[in-house]
Amino acid sequence: MAIFFQEKEKVFTLHTRHSTWQMQVSPYGHLLHLYYGRRVEKTSMSYLVRGINRGFSGSPYAAFGEDRGYSLDTYPQEYSTFGVGDYRTGCLQLEHSDGSQAAELVYVSHRILSGKYSLPGLPALWAEPGGDGAAGPEGSKKAGSDSVQTLEIVLRDTALPIEVRLYYGVFEEYDAITRSCRITNRGGDGVYLNQALSMCLDFLREDLDLVSFYGRHTMERMVERRRISHGRQVVESRRGSSSHQQNPFVILCASEANEEYGECFGAALVYSGSFLASAELDPINQIRFTMGIHPDGFRWRLEPGESFTAPEVVCSFSASGFGVLSQNYHRLYQKHLIRSKYKDVQRPVLLNHWEAMEFSFQEEDLVSLAASAKDLGIQLFVMDDGWFGERNQDTSGLGDWQVNREKLPSGIGGLSRRIHGLGLQFGIWIEPEMVNEDSNLYRTHPEWCLRAPGRLPNVERGQLVLDMGRPEVRDYLFRQIGAVLDEGEINYVKWDMNRSLSDVWSGILPRERQGEASHRYVLGVYELMERFTSTYPDILWESCSGGGGRFDAGILYYMPQIWCSDNTDAVERLQIQYGTSFGYPVSAMGSHVSACPNLQTGRRTPMETRALIAMSGTFGYELDVRKLGEKEQEQIREQIREFQRFYPLIHHGDYYRLTDAVKDSVFTAWEFAAPDASEALICVVTLRARSNAPQIRLRVKGLKENGIYQINEEAAHYQGSALMYGGILLPALPGDYQSIAFWVRQVTEKDR
């Protein structure tokens, strides 16, 4: 059992292997947060919560005559509300039919269930392969999954019939606890949700930093760390997607925390739209963290009997620094978020045609490129943008998902047969959510776009955004793109999304419901993704949004990998993939070897280095291999053999960041270690060559102290403790951007 309720004290305790989450129903019915951190046994942490009568922090009416120190403005809470005396950030802000905006939630009941709750229409962690073992929002239990439990707590407003069900999913083995809620209008009048965040987490401490992951197009998920100071520090996206600019994953950590030491609290929103994460230090030095759908532009009407479900937040705790926290998320997502069969099946090495030809290609060009790819050992050929409609530039053709017969006389079916005839798998690129004004679809259905009436729209890349909240739009896309998938044997699909949302207004929603349009867009995207991925489960789906503009846990529920960035410069990818690794597994990071000099930066980087960095991801190539010399072609053959050799270790091993890629000036290093410590792959890239340089020792991680290991098949043997505490000596590598890999393998008595 991972969830316990002490009836006498009304204390809930949630245990994972190394952490405890505890809360209590107060004498006045409010659900107070007591503790989240290192595991504590058989102890109520309620002694930590003491009320002091503070000026301008009032008490609930029921408490005023009993305890003036009891204040919602100072007490830690599990789900904070607006308008009843808590002046910190509230999760729930209602607008009732009489115009009032207050809500005071008190405890009604609870249930402890086997398995994991599910969220209709939303992605969420699941408890068994294929989703078995998930308990529905109303608690209907399915078979299996005793290792995961759900706590459901029902709260109700003291004055009006508004009900909030809080959901906690406890993944004991992974030190993870999920949070979500469902808000139901049990009354006879409609109400508005002006803010409905997913979770609140109050800390009775001030000594925490906020680690977030900011960026821009072609430079996503840069690590930023700041001390939480008085007031609010916000990480957010208002772009209708999770965005290049900020990521819906943050870490709160002790000021002394590093890769191997210190308390770290992770929070990941399983959602792909606009989001808000807020860390607020109040005047008495307590920290409140909240996370959920961004309230800007959001206003959801609940008619009598209707419910609203908030997206899930995945919380994880580590007392041993960032490294363990990241591994918690990596293992959890690989086992309980990603559903594709490709989470367990080895994925093919691909060649994408884009950087070789862009829009300018004919069928024979593609077949020629594919034939050269096959000769190098590449397994999957991907035709990117430009194969449909009048798509010869980025300002036309989007939305017209019919094959351009001038470019592809054989059609998708004929081209697919030719590619498969070479012994390759075949994949295509799509961008379902967008439309060009210069398209037959737009000319036929201009009303299908998100576009404010009487206003010229903001345009990016010549694109407008289809209203994915419209069922007829989703039906059209499924029918048209599905026909393409049915015509040819398609093994891979790259689903792109190349602009932010603006001018958000839906023609199918009345005036009073326009605040629902952005969220309904996301729900529509999820519905269409579910439809495609369940209908075509053998296709390897990869998400993309101008690279990493929608790299979030919500997408990983539908697609096992995401194109990490449109920036294919290997040296810049060191920082991009470093930041991404804090919250996402390597197996999810789309990464390719591209041409030299790089198209984005003009940098020249050795082929070996480009490949080593791309191997720390899904691995593929994005260049015209026909133009390479025999030496580089042979390098590719060897790189593919090496990647396939180490695939299980790279995609399923424990990932370690051995250096800080943001601060590195001499070299960057990372490692993959087998969970049983039988082997490890250490990757090193030098950044700057130095004359008469000092000797560098690099400490390995994840080995057995008493194990005996061999490095790169050399004759010498080393004890694990020596490699972990003494380290490996790095050789001097001439020139910038050189690379080296060390394969550390445990040897048996027979091998010695």
- Catalytic residue, chosen from 206, 460, 632, 736, is 632
Q: Is 552 a catalytic residue?
A: yes
Give the pTM: 0.96
Residue 141 clears pLDDT 70, i.e. is over it: no
- Final residue in a domain of this structure, among 336, 354, 380: 336
Residue 453 clears pLDDT 50, i.e. is over it: yes
> What is the per-residue pLDDT across 626-666, written as a single tens digit (0 to 9) for each?
999 999 999 999 999 999 999 999 999 999 999 999 999 99
> Which run of H or E residues covers position 249?
strand 249-254
Strands (E), 392-491: 425-430, 434-436, 463-465
pLDDT at site 137: 45
Nearest residue to 677 (alpha-carbon basis) of 704, 712, 649: 704
- Alpha-carbon distance of 200 to 213, in angstroms, equals 20
pLDDT at site 442: 97
Domain span at residue 428 reads 341-549+564-570+590-648
What's the CATH code of the domain at 285? 2.70.98.60
- Alpha-carbon distance of 601 to 647, in angstroms, equals 29
Q: Is 632 a catalytic residue?
A: yes
Q: Does residue 142 share a domain with residue 73?
A: yes
> What is the per-residue pLDDT across 110-138, written as a single tens digit (0 to 9) for each?
999 999 999 999 999 999 743 444 444 44
Q: Does residue 227 share a domain with residue 359?
A: no
Q: What contacts 75, CB < 8 A, 6 or more positions away?
A: 26, 30, 32, 49, 51
Q: Does residue 359 share a domain with residue 260?
A: no
Q: Does residue 476 share a domain with residue 365?
A: yes
- Final residue in a domain of this structure, among 336, 354, 378: 336
Residue 375 domain-assigned (yes or no) = yes
What's the CATH code of the domain at 723? 2.60.40.1180
Residue 269 domain-assigned (yes or no) = yes
Quote the number of domains for the chain. Answer: 3
Residue 587 confidence class, pLDDT cut points 50, 70, 90:
very high
Quote the crossing angle between the two packed helices 630-652 and 607-615, to the nearest 10°.
Answer: 20
- Alpha-carbon distance of 110 to 147, in angstroms, equals 20
> What is the per-residue pLDDT across 84-117, written as a single tens digit (0 to 9) for each?
999 999 999 999 999 999 999 999 999 999 999 9
- Residues 72, 77, 81, CA angle at the centre, nearest 5°? 65
Q: Does residue 92 share a domain with residue 9?
A: yes
Nearest residue to 112 (alpha-carbon basis) of 146, 85, 82, 86: 146
Q: Does residue 364 share a domain with residue 475?
A: yes
- Joined together, the tokens standing for residue 680 give 């490890």
Q: Does residue 493 share a domain with residue 456?
A: yes
Residue 657 domain-assigned (yes or no) = no
Nearest residue to 228 (alpha-carbon basis) of 266, 264, 277, 281: 281
Q: Does residue 641 share a domain with residue 719?
A: no
Helix (H, G, I), strand (E, B) or coil at 231: strand
Q: Does residue 332 share a domain with residue 346?
A: no
What's the CATH code of the domain at 609? 3.20.20.70
Q: Does residue 479 share a domain with residue 376?
A: yes
Residue 655 domain-assigned (yes or no) = no
pLDDT at site 752: 65
- The more confidently predicted of residues 751 and 430 is 430
Residue 575 domain-assigned (yes or no) = no
In percent, the amount of the chain with pLDDT more than 70 equals 97
| Beta pairing class for 425-430 and 380-383 | parallel
> What is the per-residue pLDDT across 316-334, written as a single tens digit (0 to 9) for each?
999 999 999 999 999 999 9
Neighbours of 192 (CB within 10 A): 17
- Catalytic residue, chosen from 86, 552, 569, 622, is 552
- Alpha-carbon distance of 20 to 10, in angstroms, equals 16
Neighbours of 12 (CB within 10 A): 22
- Final residue in a domain of this structure, among 305, 336, 367: 336
